[in-house]
Amino acid sequence: MDIIQLLPSHVANQIAAGEVIQRPASAVKEMLENALDAGSSEIKIFVKDAGRSLLQIVDNGCGMSTKDAKMCFKRHATSKIKNADDLFNIKTMGFRGEAMASIGAIAHVEIKTKLTSKELGTHLIIEGGKIKDSNDCGTADGTSIKVKNLFYNVPARRKFLKSDKVEMRHINEEFIRVALANPNIKMQLFHNEKEVFHLPKSNFRQRIVNIIGGKKNESLVPVKEETTLVEVSGFVGKPESAKRTRGEQYFFVNGRYIKSHYLHHAVNKAFEELIPNNYFPSYFINLVIDPQLIDINIHPTKTEIKFEDEKAIYAIIRASVKRSLGAYNIAPSIDFAQELSFNIDYTKNTTNNLKQPEIKIDPNYTPFKTEAKEQIETHEIIKEEKLKQSSFSKIIDSERELEDINQIGNCFIAVPNKEGLLLMHQRRAHKRILFEYFRKTISANKGQSQKLLFPKEIKFSTLDLITISEMKEELSRVGFNINIEKDSIIITGVPSECMQENLQSIIENLIEQEKNSESLETNHNQNLALSLAKSLAIKKVKALDKKEIMSLKNELFKCEFPSVCPNGKRTMIQLKTSEIEKYF
Protein backbone atom coordinates (compact mmCIF):
# COMPACT_ATOMS: atom_id res chain seq x y z
CA MET A 1 0.00 0.00 0.00
CA ASP A 2 1.40 3.39 -1.01
CA ILE A 3 1.42 5.85 1.88
CA ILE A 4 3.63 8.75 0.67
CA GLN A 5 1.77 11.61 -1.00
CA LEU A 6 2.33 15.24 -1.91
CA LEU A 7 0.93 17.78 0.53
CA PRO A 8 -1.77 20.12 -0.82
CA SER A 9 -0.35 23.56 -1.63
CA HIS A 10 -2.36 25.34 1.10
CA VAL A 11 -1.02 22.92 3.74
CA ALA A 12 2.57 23.29 2.48
CA ASN A 13 2.20 27.07 2.58
CA GLN A 14 1.01 27.00 6.19
CA ILE A 15 3.93 24.77 7.21
CA ALA A 16 6.39 27.16 5.51
CA ALA A 17 4.63 30.11 7.13
CA GLY A 18 5.14 28.50 10.54
CA GLU A 19 8.90 28.48 9.93
CA VAL A 20 9.14 32.08 8.72
CA ILE A 21 6.25 33.83 10.57
CA GLN A 22 6.32 32.76 14.20
CA ARG A 23 4.63 35.86 15.64
CA PRO A 24 3.59 39.41 14.53
CA ALA A 25 7.18 40.63 14.96
CA SER A 26 8.30 38.08 12.33
CA ALA A 27 5.91 39.60 9.77
CA VAL A 28 7.16 43.10 10.64
CA LYS A 29 10.77 42.00 10.09
CA GLU A 30 10.05 40.43 6.69
CA MET A 31 8.05 43.41 5.40
CA LEU A 32 10.65 45.89 6.66
CA GLU A 33 13.35 43.99 4.77
CA ASN A 34 11.26 44.16 1.59
CA ALA A 35 10.87 47.93 2.07
CA LEU A 36 14.65 48.28 2.44
CA ASP A 37 15.29 46.27 -0.73
CA ALA A 38 12.87 48.58 -2.56
CA GLY A 39 15.24 51.50 -1.92
CA SER A 40 12.95 53.37 0.50
CA SER A 41 14.09 56.56 2.24
CA GLU A 42 11.03 56.71 4.54
CA ILE A 43 9.21 53.82 6.24
CA LYS A 44 6.16 53.96 8.50
CA ILE A 45 4.74 51.08 10.55
CA PHE A 46 1.21 51.07 11.97
CA VAL A 47 0.30 48.40 14.55
CA LYS A 48 -3.00 47.63 16.30
CA ASP A 49 -3.42 45.24 19.22
CA ALA A 50 0.26 44.25 19.05
CA GLY A 51 -0.22 43.01 15.48
CA ARG A 52 -3.22 40.76 16.07
CA SER A 53 -5.63 43.12 14.32
CA LEU A 54 -3.36 45.06 11.96
CA LEU A 55 0.19 45.40 10.73
CA GLN A 56 0.76 48.02 8.06
CA ILE A 57 4.06 48.97 6.40
CA VAL A 58 4.16 52.08 4.19
CA ASP A 59 7.29 52.88 2.18
CA ASN A 60 8.28 55.27 -0.62
CA GLY A 61 10.40 52.72 -2.49
CA CYS A 62 10.38 51.77 -6.15
CA GLY A 63 6.99 50.03 -6.01
CA MET A 64 5.87 47.05 -8.12
CA SER A 65 4.11 46.42 -11.39
CA THR A 66 0.79 44.56 -11.39
CA LYS A 67 2.46 41.32 -12.46
CA ASP A 68 5.18 41.60 -9.80
CA ALA A 69 2.60 42.40 -7.11
CA LYS A 70 0.77 39.15 -7.92
CA MET A 71 3.98 37.13 -8.25
CA CYS A 72 5.36 38.20 -4.86
CA PHE A 73 2.68 36.11 -3.11
CA LYS A 74 3.82 32.90 -4.79
CA ARG A 75 6.34 30.66 -2.99
CA HIS A 76 9.98 31.05 -3.99
CA ALA A 77 9.18 33.87 -6.40
CA THR A 78 12.07 36.35 -6.12
CA SER A 79 13.94 38.96 -8.10
CA LYS A 80 17.11 38.58 -6.03
CA ILE A 81 18.62 35.31 -7.26
CA LYS A 82 18.66 33.50 -10.62
CA ASN A 83 20.67 30.38 -9.79
CA ALA A 84 22.21 28.53 -6.83
CA ASP A 85 25.54 30.36 -7.19
CA ASP A 86 23.81 33.65 -6.38
CA LEU A 87 23.21 32.35 -2.84
CA PHE A 88 26.89 33.00 -2.09
CA ASN A 89 26.87 36.60 -3.31
CA ILE A 90 23.76 38.00 -1.60
CA LYS A 91 23.69 41.75 -0.99
CA THR A 92 19.95 42.18 -0.34
CA MET A 93 17.90 41.57 2.80
CA GLY A 94 15.40 39.13 1.29
CA PHE A 95 16.15 36.56 -1.38
CA ARG A 96 14.21 33.31 -0.90
CA GLY A 97 10.76 34.55 -1.91
CA GLU A 98 9.07 33.07 1.17
CA ALA A 99 8.08 36.15 3.18
CA MET A 100 4.97 37.46 1.40
CA ALA A 101 3.84 33.95 0.42
CA SER A 102 4.00 32.91 4.07
CA ILE A 103 2.19 36.03 5.29
CA GLY A 104 -0.48 35.71 2.57
CA ALA A 105 -1.14 32.09 3.58
CA ILE A 106 -2.08 32.94 7.19
CA ALA A 107 -3.65 36.41 7.05
CA HIS A 108 -5.92 38.81 5.18
CA VAL A 109 -3.59 40.99 3.12
CA GLU A 110 -4.29 44.21 1.24
CA ILE A 111 -1.59 45.76 -0.92
CA LYS A 112 -1.40 49.06 -2.79
CA THR A 113 1.70 49.66 -4.87
CA LYS A 114 2.81 51.97 -7.69
CA LEU A 115 5.91 52.26 -9.81
CA THR A 116 7.43 55.76 -9.76
CA SER A 117 7.15 55.89 -13.56
CA LYS A 118 3.41 55.06 -13.66
CA GLU A 119 0.32 57.19 -13.02
CA LEU A 120 -1.84 54.40 -11.60
CA GLY A 121 -0.98 51.74 -9.11
CA THR A 122 -2.24 48.23 -8.29
CA HIS A 123 -4.67 47.20 -5.53
CA LEU A 124 -4.78 43.52 -4.45
CA ILE A 125 -6.74 41.67 -1.75
CA ILE A 126 -5.38 38.27 -0.69
CA GLU A 127 -7.01 35.76 1.68
CA GLY A 128 -5.42 32.47 2.61
CA GLY A 129 -2.82 32.82 -0.13
CA LYS A 130 -5.36 33.39 -2.93
CA ILE A 131 -6.00 36.67 -4.76
CA LYS A 132 -9.64 37.65 -4.14
CA ASP A 133 -9.66 41.03 -5.90
CA SER A 134 -7.35 42.95 -8.25
CA ASN A 135 -7.77 46.39 -9.83
CA ASP A 136 -6.00 49.64 -10.67
CA CYS A 137 -6.00 52.46 -8.11
CA GLY A 138 -4.60 55.88 -7.38
CA THR A 139 -1.90 55.70 -4.71
CA ALA A 140 1.41 57.28 -3.73
CA ASP A 141 4.74 56.06 -5.09
CA GLY A 142 5.97 52.99 -3.26
CA THR A 143 4.09 50.24 -1.46
CA SER A 144 1.56 49.99 1.37
CA ILE A 145 0.83 46.53 2.79
CA LYS A 146 -1.88 45.83 5.37
CA VAL A 147 -1.82 42.50 7.20
CA LYS A 148 -5.06 41.86 9.09
CA ASN A 149 -6.14 39.01 11.39
CA LEU A 150 -2.77 37.26 11.49
CA PHE A 151 -3.09 33.45 11.96
CA TYR A 152 -6.87 33.64 11.39
CA ASN A 153 -6.78 30.21 9.72
CA VAL A 154 -4.16 28.72 12.09
CA PRO A 155 -5.96 29.01 15.46
CA ALA A 156 -3.42 26.82 17.26
CA ARG A 157 -0.60 29.25 16.49
CA ARG A 158 -2.76 32.29 17.32
CA LYS A 159 -3.64 30.67 20.65
CA PHE A 160 0.02 30.44 21.63
CA LEU A 161 0.77 34.12 21.07
CA LYS A 162 1.79 35.89 24.27
CA SER A 163 0.16 38.96 25.82
CA ASP A 164 -0.02 42.24 23.87
CA LYS A 165 2.80 43.66 26.00
CA VAL A 166 5.14 40.78 25.18
CA GLU A 167 4.27 40.71 21.46
CA MET A 168 4.67 44.49 21.16
CA ARG A 169 8.03 44.23 22.89
CA HIS A 170 9.17 41.85 20.14
CA ILE A 171 7.89 44.23 17.45
CA ASN A 172 9.78 47.11 19.07
CA GLU A 173 12.94 45.00 19.12
CA GLU A 174 12.66 44.07 15.43
CA PHE A 175 12.04 47.72 14.57
CA ILE A 176 15.11 48.80 16.58
CA ARG A 177 17.33 46.22 14.90
CA VAL A 178 16.39 47.43 11.43
CA ALA A 179 16.53 51.10 12.46
CA LEU A 180 20.04 50.75 13.92
CA ALA A 181 21.30 49.02 10.78
CA ASN A 182 19.83 51.75 8.53
CA PRO A 183 20.35 55.20 10.10
CA ASN A 184 20.09 56.83 6.65
CA ILE A 185 16.35 55.99 6.51
CA LYS A 186 13.62 57.93 8.30
CA MET A 187 11.50 55.50 10.30
CA GLN A 188 8.35 55.79 12.40
CA LEU A 189 6.41 53.27 14.49
CA PHE A 190 2.83 53.72 15.71
CA HIS A 191 0.91 51.45 18.09
CA ASN A 192 -2.85 51.92 18.53
CA GLU A 193 -2.55 55.36 16.85
CA LYS A 194 0.15 56.51 19.28
CA GLU A 195 3.66 57.26 17.98
CA VAL A 196 6.24 55.07 19.69
CA PHE A 197 9.37 55.95 17.67
CA HIS A 198 10.14 58.90 15.42
CA LEU A 199 13.63 58.49 13.99
CA PRO A 200 14.85 61.10 11.48
CA LYS A 201 17.61 60.36 8.99
CA SER A 202 20.95 60.59 10.85
CA ASN A 203 24.39 59.08 11.30
CA PHE A 204 24.95 55.84 13.24
CA ARG A 205 25.89 57.49 16.54
CA GLN A 206 22.85 59.78 16.50
CA ARG A 207 20.56 56.86 15.63
CA ILE A 208 21.85 54.97 18.69
CA VAL A 209 21.22 58.01 20.89
CA ASN A 210 17.72 58.54 19.42
CA ILE A 211 16.78 54.94 20.24
CA ILE A 212 18.64 54.14 23.45
CA GLY A 213 18.45 57.63 25.00
CA GLY A 214 20.44 60.83 25.40
CA LYS A 215 22.46 59.52 28.34
CA LYS A 216 24.04 56.90 26.06
CA ASN A 217 25.91 59.51 23.95
CA GLU A 218 28.54 60.31 26.57
CA SER A 219 29.27 56.63 27.20
CA LEU A 220 29.88 55.60 23.56
CA VAL A 221 33.43 54.70 22.57
CA PRO A 222 34.05 54.48 18.79
CA VAL A 223 35.50 51.29 17.32
CA LYS A 224 37.20 51.30 13.90
CA GLU A 225 39.39 48.64 12.26
CA GLU A 226 40.02 47.77 8.60
CA THR A 227 41.60 44.47 7.59
CA THR A 228 41.75 42.47 4.36
CA LEU A 229 39.14 40.08 5.81
CA VAL A 230 36.61 42.35 7.49
CA GLU A 231 35.93 46.00 8.24
CA VAL A 232 34.82 46.67 11.83
CA SER A 233 33.10 49.91 12.90
CA GLY A 234 30.63 51.10 15.47
CA PHE A 235 30.57 51.83 19.18
CA VAL A 236 30.92 50.11 22.54
CA GLY A 237 29.69 51.42 25.88
CA LYS A 238 32.10 52.49 28.59
CA PRO A 239 32.53 49.95 31.39
CA GLU A 240 30.40 51.97 33.82
CA SER A 241 27.40 51.65 31.46
CA ALA A 242 27.49 47.82 31.62
CA LYS A 243 24.36 46.12 32.95
CA ARG A 244 23.59 42.93 34.82
CA THR A 245 21.56 41.51 31.93
CA ARG A 246 21.78 41.55 28.15
CA GLY A 247 19.78 44.14 26.24
CA GLU A 248 22.03 46.50 24.26
CA GLN A 249 24.17 44.06 22.29
CA TYR A 250 23.92 44.40 18.50
CA PHE A 251 25.99 42.88 15.69
CA PHE A 252 25.30 43.82 12.06
CA VAL A 253 26.90 42.02 9.12
CA ASN A 254 26.57 43.84 5.79
CA GLY A 255 23.60 45.78 7.21
CA ARG A 256 21.83 42.70 8.58
CA TYR A 257 21.28 42.09 12.32
CA ILE A 258 22.72 38.75 13.49
CA LYS A 259 22.93 36.75 16.71
CA SER A 260 26.28 35.21 17.55
CA HIS A 261 27.25 33.93 21.01
CA TYR A 262 30.77 33.33 19.69
CA LEU A 263 31.33 36.96 18.65
CA HIS A 264 29.56 38.17 21.80
CA HIS A 265 32.22 36.28 23.75
CA ALA A 266 34.92 38.17 21.81
CA VAL A 267 33.55 41.52 23.03
CA ASN A 268 33.25 40.20 26.58
CA LYS A 269 36.91 39.11 26.49
CA ALA A 270 37.89 42.64 25.44
CA PHE A 271 36.15 43.96 28.57
CA GLU A 272 37.86 41.40 30.80
CA GLU A 273 39.01 42.95 34.11
CA LEU A 274 37.11 46.15 33.26
CA ILE A 275 33.66 44.97 34.34
CA PRO A 276 32.50 42.34 36.89
CA ASN A 277 31.87 38.80 35.62
CA ASN A 278 28.09 39.08 35.91
CA TYR A 279 27.82 42.31 33.85
CA PHE A 280 27.37 42.71 30.09
CA PRO A 281 28.77 45.61 28.03
CA SER A 282 26.76 47.57 25.47
CA TYR A 283 27.95 47.36 21.89
CA PHE A 284 26.72 48.37 18.43
CA ILE A 285 29.15 46.85 15.93
CA ASN A 286 28.99 46.80 12.12
CA LEU A 287 30.93 44.21 10.13
CA VAL A 288 31.46 44.61 6.38
CA ILE A 289 32.69 41.42 4.72
CA ASP A 290 32.77 39.86 1.26
CA PRO A 291 29.38 38.08 0.81
CA GLN A 292 31.23 35.07 -0.60
CA LEU A 293 32.93 34.54 2.79
CA ILE A 294 29.64 34.11 4.69
CA ASP A 295 26.51 31.96 4.40
CA ILE A 296 23.29 33.65 5.49
CA ASN A 297 21.06 30.83 4.27
CA ILE A 298 21.39 28.55 7.31
CA HIS A 299 18.29 29.71 9.20
CA PRO A 300 14.75 30.68 8.04
CA THR A 301 14.83 34.01 9.91
CA LYS A 302 18.37 34.80 8.65
CA THR A 303 19.47 35.97 12.12
CA GLU A 304 22.26 33.39 12.22
CA ILE A 305 25.05 33.25 9.65
CA LYS A 306 28.14 31.12 9.07
CA PHE A 307 31.58 32.72 8.62
CA GLU A 308 34.24 31.01 6.54
CA ASP A 309 36.95 32.07 9.03
CA GLU A 310 35.13 32.64 12.32
CA LYS A 311 38.24 32.42 14.51
CA ALA A 312 40.00 35.24 12.63
CA ILE A 313 36.94 37.51 12.93
CA TYR A 314 36.74 36.69 16.67
CA ALA A 315 40.37 37.80 17.11
CA ILE A 316 39.88 40.98 15.06
CA ILE A 317 36.77 42.04 17.02
CA ARG A 318 38.40 41.35 20.36
CA ALA A 319 41.57 43.25 19.42
CA SER A 320 39.76 46.25 17.88
CA VAL A 321 37.43 46.69 20.88
CA LYS A 322 40.31 46.35 23.34
CA ARG A 323 42.41 48.85 21.37
CA SER A 324 39.55 51.39 21.34
CA LEU A 325 39.04 51.06 25.09
CA GLY A 326 42.76 51.63 25.59
CA ALA A 327 42.97 54.54 23.13
CA TYR A 328 40.23 56.41 24.99
CA ASN A 329 41.88 55.76 28.38
CA ILE A 330 39.06 53.60 29.67
CA ALA A 331 40.14 51.92 32.90
CA PRO A 332 38.36 50.72 36.03
CA SER A 333 38.24 53.09 38.95
CA ILE A 334 39.60 52.03 42.36
CA ASP A 335 36.21 50.99 43.72
CA PHE A 336 34.70 50.02 40.38
CA ALA A 337 32.89 46.89 41.51
CA GLN A 338 31.25 48.69 44.42
CA GLU A 339 30.12 51.57 42.19
CA LEU A 340 28.34 49.20 39.83
CA SER A 341 26.73 46.83 42.31
CA PHE A 342 26.14 49.25 45.17
CA ASN A 343 27.54 46.47 47.37
CA ILE A 344 29.05 48.45 50.25
CA ASP A 345 30.32 46.26 53.08
CA TYR A 346 30.44 48.50 56.13
CA THR A 347 32.00 45.74 58.20
CA LYS A 348 35.35 46.30 56.49
CA ASN A 349 35.45 49.93 57.55
CA THR A 350 37.03 50.50 60.95
CA THR A 351 35.52 53.96 61.38
CA ASN A 352 33.25 53.83 64.42
CA ASN A 353 31.00 56.76 63.53
CA LEU A 354 29.41 54.98 60.53
CA LYS A 355 25.87 53.92 61.30
CA GLN A 356 24.99 50.31 60.54
CA PRO A 357 22.10 50.05 58.01
CA GLU A 358 18.99 48.43 59.42
CA ILE A 359 16.78 45.77 57.92
CA LYS A 360 13.37 47.37 57.49
CA ILE A 361 11.01 44.70 58.81
CA ASP A 362 7.90 45.34 60.87
CA PRO A 363 7.61 42.38 63.33
CA ASN A 364 3.97 43.25 64.11
CA TYR A 365 2.88 43.24 60.47
CA THR A 366 0.16 40.65 59.78
CA PRO A 367 -1.31 41.34 56.32
CA PHE A 368 -4.34 39.77 54.70
CA LYS A 369 -5.23 36.96 57.08
CA THR A 370 -8.28 36.00 55.04
CA GLU A 371 -6.49 35.92 51.71
CA ALA A 372 -6.59 32.59 49.88
CA LYS A 373 -3.27 30.93 49.22
CA GLU A 374 -1.88 31.53 45.75
CA GLN A 375 -0.63 28.79 43.49
CA ILE A 376 3.17 28.62 43.78
CA GLU A 377 5.12 27.86 40.62
CA THR A 378 6.81 24.46 40.39
CA HIS A 379 10.30 25.90 40.11
CA GLU A 380 9.79 27.85 43.34
CA ILE A 381 8.92 25.08 45.81
CA ILE A 382 10.46 21.64 45.84
CA LYS A 383 8.18 18.77 46.85
CA GLU A 384 10.65 17.45 49.38
CA GLU A 385 10.75 20.82 51.12
CA LYS A 386 6.96 20.87 51.44
CA LEU A 387 7.14 17.59 53.32
CA LYS A 388 9.61 19.12 55.77
CA GLN A 389 7.29 21.98 56.79
CA SER A 390 5.79 20.02 59.68
CA SER A 391 9.23 19.15 61.15
CA PHE A 392 10.37 22.77 60.86
CA SER A 393 7.25 23.98 62.67
CA LYS A 394 8.23 21.88 65.71
CA ILE A 395 11.68 23.45 65.65
CA ILE A 396 10.13 26.89 65.38
CA ASP A 397 7.88 26.39 68.37
CA SER A 398 10.72 25.19 70.55
CA GLU A 399 13.41 27.68 69.49
CA ARG A 400 11.30 30.83 69.65
CA GLU A 401 11.73 30.83 73.39
CA LEU A 402 15.50 30.85 73.01
CA GLU A 403 17.39 34.06 72.31
CA ASP A 404 20.90 32.67 72.31
CA ILE A 405 21.34 33.16 68.57
CA ASN A 406 24.45 34.37 66.72
CA GLN A 407 25.70 35.35 63.29
CA ILE A 408 28.38 33.26 61.56
CA GLY A 409 30.67 34.90 59.00
CA ASN A 410 28.22 37.80 58.60
CA CYS A 411 26.29 35.42 56.33
CA PHE A 412 24.53 32.75 58.40
CA ILE A 413 22.42 32.83 61.55
CA ALA A 414 22.88 30.05 64.10
CA VAL A 415 19.84 29.22 66.25
CA PRO A 416 20.38 26.61 69.03
CA ASN A 417 17.32 24.45 69.75
CA LYS A 418 16.35 21.21 71.49
CA GLU A 419 17.26 19.08 68.47
CA GLY A 420 20.66 20.67 67.84
CA LEU A 421 21.47 23.71 65.73
CA LEU A 422 19.36 25.50 63.08
CA LEU A 423 21.42 27.37 60.43
CA MET A 424 19.73 30.12 58.40
CA HIS A 425 21.00 31.77 55.19
CA GLN A 426 20.25 35.44 55.90
CA ARG A 427 19.92 36.73 52.29
CA ARG A 428 17.69 33.85 51.19
CA ALA A 429 15.59 34.24 54.32
CA HIS A 430 15.11 37.94 53.62
CA LYS A 431 14.19 37.18 49.99
CA ARG A 432 11.45 34.79 51.17
CA ILE A 433 10.08 37.42 53.58
CA LEU A 434 10.02 40.17 50.95
CA PHE A 435 8.62 37.88 48.23
CA GLU A 436 5.58 36.88 50.27
CA TYR A 437 5.06 40.46 51.44
CA PHE A 438 5.14 41.95 47.93
CA ARG A 439 3.05 39.17 46.44
CA LYS A 440 0.28 39.83 48.94
CA THR A 441 0.67 43.60 48.65
CA ILE A 442 0.33 43.56 44.84
CA SER A 443 -2.72 41.29 44.98
CA ALA A 444 -4.45 43.44 47.61
CA ASN A 445 -3.32 46.77 46.09
CA LYS A 446 -2.32 48.07 49.54
CA GLY A 447 1.33 48.99 49.13
CA GLN A 448 2.72 51.51 51.60
CA SER A 449 4.57 54.38 49.93
CA GLN A 450 7.21 56.57 51.53
CA LYS A 451 7.40 60.05 49.99
CA LEU A 452 10.85 61.19 48.91
CA LEU A 453 12.06 64.53 50.24
CA PHE A 454 13.84 65.15 46.93
CA PRO A 455 12.28 63.43 43.87
CA LYS A 456 14.68 61.16 41.99
CA GLU A 457 15.08 61.62 38.22
CA ILE A 458 16.46 58.71 36.18
CA LYS A 459 17.02 58.86 32.40
CA PHE A 460 16.02 55.87 30.25
CA SER A 461 15.85 54.87 26.61
CA THR A 462 12.56 55.05 24.72
CA LEU A 463 12.17 51.27 24.89
CA ASP A 464 12.77 51.25 28.65
CA LEU A 465 10.25 54.06 29.15
CA ILE A 466 7.67 52.00 27.26
CA THR A 467 8.39 49.07 29.57
CA ILE A 468 8.05 51.27 32.67
CA SER A 469 4.73 52.66 31.46
CA GLU A 470 3.45 49.08 31.07
CA MET A 471 4.57 48.29 34.62
CA LYS A 472 3.41 51.55 36.19
CA GLU A 473 0.13 50.19 37.59
CA GLU A 474 1.81 47.18 39.23
CA LEU A 475 4.62 49.34 40.61
CA SER A 476 2.12 51.74 42.18
CA ARG A 477 0.54 48.80 44.04
CA VAL A 478 3.78 48.13 45.91
CA GLY A 479 4.44 51.79 46.73
CA PHE A 480 6.29 53.35 43.77
CA ASN A 481 4.98 56.75 42.68
CA ILE A 482 6.36 57.39 39.18
CA ASN A 483 5.80 60.17 36.64
CA ILE A 484 7.03 59.49 33.10
CA GLU A 485 8.62 62.39 31.23
CA LYS A 486 10.01 62.62 27.67
CA ASP A 487 13.30 60.79 28.28
CA SER A 488 13.24 60.06 32.02
CA ILE A 489 11.11 59.10 35.00
CA ILE A 490 10.52 61.13 38.17
CA ILE A 491 10.16 59.00 41.31
CA THR A 492 8.34 60.80 44.15
CA GLY A 493 7.57 57.83 46.39
CA VAL A 494 9.02 54.38 47.07
CA PRO A 495 8.05 51.32 49.14
CA SER A 496 9.10 51.61 52.77
CA GLU A 497 11.44 48.63 52.24
CA CYS A 498 13.35 50.41 49.47
CA MET A 499 16.67 52.18 50.09
CA GLN A 500 17.13 55.37 48.04
CA GLU A 501 20.80 54.59 47.39
CA ASN A 502 19.84 51.50 45.37
CA LEU A 503 16.91 53.10 43.55
CA GLN A 504 18.35 53.27 40.03
CA SER A 505 19.73 49.74 40.26
CA ILE A 506 16.35 48.43 41.46
CA ILE A 507 14.40 50.07 38.63
CA GLU A 508 16.92 48.87 36.02
CA ASN A 509 16.67 45.30 37.34
CA LEU A 510 12.87 45.45 37.16
CA ILE A 511 13.01 46.73 33.57
CA GLU A 512 15.47 44.07 32.45
CA GLN A 513 13.43 41.26 34.00
CA GLU A 514 10.25 42.58 32.37
CA LYS A 515 11.94 42.91 28.97
CA ASN A 516 13.27 39.36 29.13
CA SER A 517 10.07 37.86 30.52
CA GLU A 518 7.91 35.63 28.30
CA SER A 519 5.52 34.60 31.06
CA LEU A 520 1.76 34.85 30.85
CA GLU A 521 -0.28 37.61 32.47
CA THR A 522 -1.36 35.29 35.30
CA ASN A 523 2.23 35.11 36.58
CA HIS A 524 3.11 38.77 36.02
CA ASN A 525 2.50 39.84 39.62
CA GLN A 526 4.56 36.96 40.95
CA ASN A 527 7.46 37.88 38.65
CA LEU A 528 7.36 41.46 39.91
CA ALA A 529 7.33 40.31 43.54
CA LEU A 530 10.29 38.01 42.86
CA SER A 531 12.28 40.78 41.16
CA LEU A 532 11.63 43.21 44.02
CA ALA A 533 12.62 40.59 46.59
CA LYS A 534 15.91 39.95 44.78
CA SER A 535 16.68 43.65 44.45
CA LEU A 536 15.81 44.67 48.01
CA ALA A 537 17.09 41.68 49.98
CA ILE A 538 20.14 42.30 52.18
CA LYS A 539 23.54 41.33 50.84
CA LYS A 540 24.86 37.80 51.39
CA VAL A 541 27.64 39.10 53.63
CA LYS A 542 26.39 41.76 56.07
CA ALA A 543 26.84 42.26 59.81
CA LEU A 544 23.55 42.31 61.75
CA ASP A 545 22.96 43.25 65.35
CA LYS A 546 20.96 41.11 67.78
CA LYS A 547 17.74 43.00 67.19
CA GLU A 548 17.99 42.62 63.39
CA ILE A 549 18.76 38.90 63.69
CA MET A 550 15.73 38.32 65.93
CA SER A 551 13.49 40.32 63.60
CA LEU A 552 14.69 38.40 60.52
CA LYS A 553 14.19 35.04 62.27
CA ASN A 554 10.69 35.87 63.53
CA GLU A 555 9.51 37.24 60.16
CA LEU A 556 10.81 34.16 58.33
CA PHE A 557 8.88 31.82 60.60
CA LYS A 558 5.68 33.76 59.85
CA CYS A 559 6.05 32.96 56.13
CA GLU A 560 3.91 30.42 54.36
CA PHE A 561 6.96 28.49 53.11
CA PRO A 562 9.87 29.48 55.37
CA SER A 563 12.20 26.63 54.41
CA VAL A 564 12.91 27.75 50.82
CA CYS A 565 13.59 31.06 49.09
CA PRO A 566 11.50 32.04 46.01
CA ASN A 567 14.05 30.33 43.71
CA GLY A 568 13.61 26.99 45.45
CA LYS A 569 16.91 27.05 47.37
CA ARG A 570 17.03 26.25 51.09
CA THR A 571 16.82 29.10 53.57
CA MET A 572 17.80 26.91 56.54
CA ILE A 573 19.05 23.48 57.54
CA GLN A 574 18.68 21.58 60.83
CA LEU A 575 21.82 19.99 62.24
CA LYS A 576 20.83 17.37 64.82
CA THR A 577 23.02 16.76 67.85
CA SER A 578 23.76 13.24 66.61
CA GLU A 579 25.07 14.67 63.31
CA ILE A 580 27.29 17.18 65.10
CA GLU A 581 28.77 14.41 67.28
CA LYS A 582 30.11 12.68 64.15
CA TYR A 583 32.71 15.42 63.80
CA PHE A 584 34.24 14.61 67.24
Considering the domain architecture, whether residues 66 and 142 belong to the same structural domain is answered as yes
Specify the higher pLDDT residue, 376 or 274. 274
Confidence (pLDDT) at 201: 95
Average pLDDT of 50-69? Answer: 92
| 560/462 same-domain check | yes
> Mean pLDDT across the stretch 31-45?
92
Whole-number pLDDT of residue 22: 85
In terms of domains, do 407 and 297 share one? no
The three-state secondary structure class of 391 is helix
**Best CA proximity match to 449, nearest among 494, 504, 491:** 494
Residues 192 and 232 in one domain: no
Query: Residue 127: which CATH number?
Result: 3.30.565.10
**377 pLDDT higher than 60:** no
Q: Do residue 244 and residue 318 come from a single domain? A: yes
Q: How high is the pLDDT of residue 362? A: 58
Note the pLDDT of residue 192.
93
Q: Is residue 363 part of a domain?
A: no
Write out pLDDT tens, residues 62-109.
999 988 888 888 876 666 555 555 555 666 665 555 788 888 888 999
- Say yes or no to pLDDT of 200 above 90: yes
pLDDT for 190 equals 95
Q: How many CB atoms lie within 10 A of CB 545?
A: 12
Average pLDDT over residues 466-476: 84
Amino acid, res. 89 = N
Q: Is the same domain home to 58 and 144?
A: yes
Domain range for 136: 9-201
Q: Please report how many Cα atoms fall inside a 13 Å half-sphere around the Cα of residue 295, on the Cβ side.
A: 9
Give the confidence band of 330 by pLDDT, cuts at 50, 70, 90. Answer: low
Q: Is there a domain that residue 100 lies in? A: yes
| Counted domains in the chain | 3
Q: What is the mean pLDDT of residues 227-251?
A: 87
Judgement on whether residues 128 and 145 belong to the same structural domain of the protein: yes
Question: Cα–Cα distances in Å, from 554 out to 180, 187, 282?
Answer: 53, 57, 43
How far is residue 142 from each of residues 17, 93, 126, 146, measured CA to CA in Å?
25, 18, 19, 14
pLDDT reported for residue 387 = 40
- In the chain, DSSP finds a helix count (H) and a strand count (E) of 18, 22
Higher pLDDT, 163 or 201: 201
Q: What pLDDT is stored for residue 278 in this prediction? A: 75
Residue 350 lies in a domain: no
- Nearest Cα to Cα of residue 434 among 514, 495, 346: 495
pLDDT at 517: 63
pLDDT above 90 coverage of the chain, percent: 29
Residues 153 and 212 in one domain: no
Tell me, what's the pLDDT at 360?
Answer: 57
pLDDT confidence bin for 266, thresholds 50/70/90: very high
Residue 482: how many CA atoms within 13 Å on its side-chain side? 25
Give the per-residue pLDDT at 21. 82
Same domain, 240 and 121: no
Instruction: State the DSSP string of 55-114.
Output: EEEEE-S----HHHHHHTTSTT--SS-SSGGGGGS--SS--SS-HHHHHHHSSEEEEEEE
Does the residue 354 lie in any domain? no
Are the CB atoms for 30 and 256 separated by under 8 Å?
no
pLDDT above 70 for 145? yes
Q: Mean pLDDT, the chain, as a whole number? A: 79
Does the pTM of the predicted model rise above 0.85? no
Residue 249 belongs to domain with CATH number = 3.30.230.10
144 plus 213 within the same structural domain: no
Give the per-residue pLDDT at 90. 62
Is the CB of residue 124 less than 8 Å from the CB of residue 118? no
Whether residue 135 is predicted with pLDDT greater than 90 in this model: the reply is: yes
Could you tell me if 294 and 420 lie in one domain? Answer: no
Residue 199: the pLDDT is 94
Instruction: Indicate whether 522 pLDDT > 50.
Output: no
